[in-house]
Structure 1
Amino acid sequence: MNIILIMIPLSLLILIGAVTAFFWAVNHDQFEDLNSPGLLPIADATDEEKRREGETHPPVR
């Protein structure tokens, strides 16, 4: 029963920290562009493929 006296304030502190972190992220434009980060792995993969093609196929003279 005494653990409740520790767990309730601790959970409230964690909740306040999470809410503070969320509002900090919103105020610092962390959620401004949600589409580009999802496309970055695709762009990196195509760049990697292009580089590999250049390495495996020497230029024709």
Structure 2
Amino acid sequence: VGDDLVDLSMMKRVGFPVAVADAVDEVREAAVYVTKARGGHGAVREVAELILKTQGKWDKILSKI
């Protein structure tokens, strides 16, 4: 999950590059997914939920709460 130019090299190496909503333009353009939430306002939680739902694990986790 990136937001600034320093994150671009990392984003090129990972399988699922993500940018937060308030990231600089270059980082958002390099991302496969851009969060709806801004950095520090739930963006990482949003990504975690997206991954767990995609993997089909979300409902199982909710059932244990």
Tell me the TM-score normalized by structure 2. Answer: 0.29
Larger radius of gyration: 1
By relative contact order (CA 8 Å, sep 6+), the higher-ranking structure is: 2
Tell me the TM-score normalized by structure 1. Answer: 0.30
Higher relative helix content: 1
Higher relative strand content: 2
